[in-house]
Amino acid sequence: MIYLDSAATTLQKPPEVARATAWAINHLASPGRGGHVPAMAAADTAFACRQAAAELFHLSDPERVVFTFNATHGLNIAIKTLVRPGSTVVVSGYEHNAVTRPLHAIPNVTVRVAESPLFDQRAAVEAFCRAITPEVSAVICCHVSNVFGFILPVEEIARLCRERRVPLIVDASQSAGCVPVDMEALGAAFVAMPGHKGLYGPQGTGLLLCGDTMPQPLLEGGTGSASLVQTMPDFLPDRLEAGTHNVAGIAGLLAGLKFIKRTGVENIGRREGALIRRLGAELEAIPGVTVFRARDPQAQAGVLSFQMVGIDCEELGERLGRQGIAVRAGLHCAPLAHKTAGTLEQGTVRVSVSAFSQPQELRVLTNRLRQLRRSGCAKG
- In angstroms, the CA 370 to CA 1 distance is 19
**Buried residues in 210-231 as b, exposed as e (16+ CB within 10 A):** bbeeebebeeeeebbeeeeeee
- In angstroms, the CA 24 to CA 6 distance is 25
One fold for both 2-10+264-375 and 15-263?
Answer: no
Residue-wise pLDDT for 297-316, tens only, equals 999 999 999 999 999 999 99
Q: Comparing C-alpha atoms, which of 89, 83, 147 is closest to residue 300?
A: 147
Q: Which fold has domain 2-10+264-375?
A: Aspartate Aminotransferase, domain 1 (3.90.1150)
Task: Tell me the three state secondary structure of residue 327.
Answer: coil
Cis peptide before 237 (omega within 30 of 0): yes
Residue-wise pLDDT for 164-208, tens only, equals 999 999 999 999 999 999 999 999 999 999 999 999 999 999 999
What are the sequence ranges of the domains in the chain? Answer: 2-10+264-375, 15-263
- In angstroms, the CA 179 to CA 271 distance is 11
Residue 128 near residue 152, CB atoms below 8 Å: no
pLDDT of residue 377: 64
Helix axes 247-263, 15-27, angle to 10 degrees: 150
What lies within 8 Å, CB to CB, of 272 at 6+ separation is 178, 301, 302, 353, 354, 355, 357
DSSP-assigned letters across all residues of 17-86: HHHHHHHHHHH---TTS-SSHHHHHHHHHHHHHHHHHHHHTT-S-GGGEEEESSHHHHHHHHHHHH--TT
- In angstroms, the CA 249 to CA 240 distance is 17
pLDDT of residue 270: 98
Mean pLDDT in consecutive groups of 10 residues from the start of the chain, 380 residues: 98 98 97 92 97 98 98 98 98 98 98 98 98 98 98 98 98 98 98 98 98 96 92 96 97 98 98 98 97 97 97 97 98 98 98 98 98 74
- In angstroms, the CA 362 to CA 358 distance is 7
- Please say whether the dihedral angle defined by the alpha carbons of residues 129, 130, 134 and 135, taken in this order, is positive or negative: negative
Report the amino acid identity of residue 29.
Answer: A
Return the CATH architecture of domain 15-263: 3-Layer(aba) Sandwich (3.40)
